[in-house]
Structure 1
Amino acid sequence: MNTRILTTLAAGALLAATTACGAQSLDGGTSGAAAAAPDIVLDQAPTEEKAADVINAITPDKDLAAKAPASLKSGGLKVVSSIGYPPMELFASDGKTPIGFDPALARAIARKLGVKVTITDEEFNSQIPGVLTGRYDFVISSMTDNPERQGQVTFVDYVQAGSGMLVKKGNPAGVTGPKDLCGKTVSVVDNGSSMELAESYDADCKKDGKAAVNILKFPGDTEAMLQVSNGRAQAIVTDYVVAAYKSADPKLAMEAIALEGTESPWGIGMKPDNKELIESVKGALDALIQSGEYGKLLAAWNLDKLAVQSAVINGGK
């Protein structure tokens, strides 16, 4: 598990020094020697984060910051994600600093609320339990907002994304859509929306009297994609944003195929009874959308097509 403390708590004299170096306090100014309480200092985004300039320019919304839960002000925003799903989540070259759109948005939300943030890497299946036990405030990990998950967490939807497939360059297996998967082997991330989609294609093949889809399940996207590279699987079912990102790497020699009609909202998941936090996150996302900062975050990662017009709670159907 990799944990990165992204902002630090500093008191009066230290704040005066760090502000001069580019860090930013909640009130935008420096604290004098007579300050009675410490101020929150917002660190800069990682240098390898493509949206770093956008994030660093975000200033706290004083109204939202005032209404943020006390736990965020004292302990910071605790975020969990599954790093290794580019361009949504990946590590910088140091192998431990989270970058990508999801960490960028988490940082942006924290700055809008005027709090520090910790991003922890966890295996996908551990994320919702971690939120429900209070270990984390929210999960942002390319997680589809659907009715089943709404029974566990409350979502604030932040993008609208669809599914896709990756096949070997040249598409030797001739896979152009779901019907071409009958009798073939596909790889997926276990217990995610891609697995459910692959299972639905398998059911359709059997219903039509065709050969079943052989589904290989793996804990992470990297392992699933390797099966296509080594020829064990003819395709991987994944999110289209990931497929497009991977296909742009000539070393992988893969092609992306969009699965039409699969678009659905991805959400930031929180404990349902944490109403104050839910409203704070929704308010911060709406503020980022209205200011245009949200659009700039998407553009930095070439994800403009995923944009939503407003923050919606539990929009998955």
Structure 2
Amino acid sequence: MTASSIRRTTAKSRIAAVGAIAVAGALILTGCGDQTDDSKETPKNGDGSKAAAPLADKLPKEIKDSGVIRVGSDIAYPPIEFKDDSGKTVGVDPDLAAAMGKQLGVEFKFENGTFDTLLTGLRSDRYDIAMSAMTDNKDRQNGIDSETGKKVGEGVDFVDYLSAGVSIYTKAGDDKGIKGWEDLCGKKIAVQRNTVSHDLAKAQAKECGDKKLTIESFDNDQQAQTRVRAGGADAGSADFPVAVYAVETSGGGKDFQLVGDQVEAAPYGIAVAKDQAQLRDALKAALDAIVKSGEYDKILSKWGVEQGKLDEITINGGK
């Protein structure tokens, strides 16, 4: 991919909506434990017995019997998933998972991990699914390393549920002349490892020639933000909802600014192992149900990401 091939989409109209999240009191925290409990319980009847879940029979028997879907997630990516002041896991993904859980009669239990290990954890059966603002693309579907082009695994299926692009941000009032990806040549950028931002930075670096683009990659996006905030990098890049949230909340909205337009809009997907088609289809059915009920729209609006709404829940819709 060259810099000139990057698809651009207008970003500005969503900033105010995401800024409303800060008013709701959701703040970025840096500490994450090894495992979290989103405290979402399966619905119960008035007598305390488990309420009927309309889509429970669509689940594989072992998951239905256990009552739990283990979710691998990098819980440091607000507003998609992060910890609030009380240490509770909150955000777009936990809310969608809780709504899906009511349909399926199970608890989605979020377990924290670094983003670049989530698919490995899925392959090793540590997790049942990975739900972590993960962009659905053909390389991940086919188990291909995007940098080397080599096969590294059997790949995964995705149940797509949101669309988002990628943005660049800098320190507020100091954009270093950066207006877009081509302006990063000769600069230093901080990104989260193995994300689309990381891929785009590596692609841009190949176009820079002697005017080298230096890339610093981190386990999570908050570490990348810290690097930019401290002046150790000229710019950072993250998915658009995350970048906007950082701009609106970090330092009371005084730390960062967005530069240029978001690029490479693509779907986020829930990753499921290739041999778990029944679970994949159950998740799609649950998402279809909350779309139909209107709960999907309410959750996206709550977190200011309603412009990422998909018109249809799809499987493997990424390119």
Q: With the length of structure 1 as denominator, give the TM-score of the two structures.
A: 0.80
The reply on whether 1:236 has 2:236 as its aligned counterpart is yes
Would you say the 8 A contact 1:240–1:256 is kept in 2? no
Offset of 1:29 from its aligned partner?
5.2
Change over 3 Å in CA distance of 1:302–1:5 after alignment to 2: closer
Pick one of 256, 259, 264 that aligns with 1:257. 259
Relative to structure 1, the CA distance from residue 79 to residue 170 in structure 2 (aligned partners, 3 Å threshold; closer, same or farther) is same
**Partners of 2:38 and 2:89 within 8 A in 1:** no
1:179 deviates by 1.5
Percent identity between matched residues is: 34
Residue 89 in structure 1 maps to residue 81 in structure 2 = yes
Question: Structure 1 residues 7 and 74, CA, compared in 2 at 3 Å: closer, same or farther?
Answer: farther
What amino acid maps onto 1:187 in structure 2?
Answer: A
Amino acid at match of 2:47: T
Tell me if the contact between 1:131 and 1:271 (Cα under 8 Å) persists in the aligned partners: yes
- The answer to whether 1:171 aligns with 2:174 is yes
Structure 2 match to 1:315:
317
Aligned pair partner of 1:276 in 275, 278, 283 = 278
Q: Which residue of the other structure, out of 114, 120, 136, is the alignment partner of 1:129? A: 120
- Structure 1 residues without counterparts, runs of 5 or longer: 9-22, 32-38, 42-59
Distance 1:146 1:117, change over 3 A: same
Q: Which residue of 1 aligns with 2:37?
A: 4
* Alpha carbons 2:38, 2:90 under 8 Å: kept: no
Structure 2: gaps of 5 or more residues: 1-33, 143-154
Per-residue CA deviation, residues 59-103 of structure 1 (Å, 9 max, x unaligned), is x651x22222222222211111111110011102123x2101111
- Count residues with an aligned counterpart: 271
8 Å CA contact retained: 2:84, 2:90: yes
Q: 1:221 maps to which residue?
A: 221
**Could you tell me which amino acid in structure 2 is paired with residue 255 of structure 1?**
Q
Higher relative contact order (CA 8 A, sep 6+): 2
Contact 1:161–1:266 (8 Å) recurs in 2: yes
Alpha-carbon distance change, 69 to 258 in structure 1, aligned in 2, over 3 angstroms: farther
Which residue of structure 2 lines up, in the alignment, with residue 16 of structure 1? none
TM-superposed CA distance for 1:163, in Å, is 0.2
Distance verdict in 2 for CA 1:104–1:214, change over 3 Å:
same
| Counterparts of 1:7 and 1:193, CA distance in 2 | 30
Q: How far is the alpha carbon of 1:119 from its aligned partner?
A: 1.1
In 1: Cα distance, 2:175 partner to 2:259 partner: 14
Which secondary structure state, in structure 2, belongs to the residue aligned with residue 3 of structure 1? Answer: coil
Q: Output aligned runs, 1:189-228, within 5 Å.
A: 189-206=192-209, 211-228=211-228
Shift in Å, 1:239: 0.8
Partner Cα separation in structure 1 for residue 80 and residue 58 of structure 2? 29
